[in-house]
Amino acid sequence: MEVMIILVPLALALGLAGLLAFLWSLKSGQYDDLEGAAWRAIADDDEPSAALQEQPRRS
């Protein structure tokens, strides 16, 4: 039962830290645009990147 003296405050501290991290992420705008990132990942780019356009030269 002595271990409960350590585990209960530790669990409360970790829970509070998680809550504070979540509230900080809300305040900093992490959840403002949930749809934009998903559409950018699957959107078809009109121009291929420059790295794909260059062909290696053979001598």
Digit-coded pLDDT (tens) for 4-24: 999 999 999 999 999 999 999
What is the rounded average pLDDT for all residues in the chain?
84
pTM: 0.56
Three-state secondary structure call for residue 41: helix
Confidence band of 35 (pLDDT split at 50, 70, 90)? confident
Q: What is the mean pLDDT of residues 29-34?
A: 85
The DSSP line for 17-33 is HHHHHHHHHHHTTTTS-
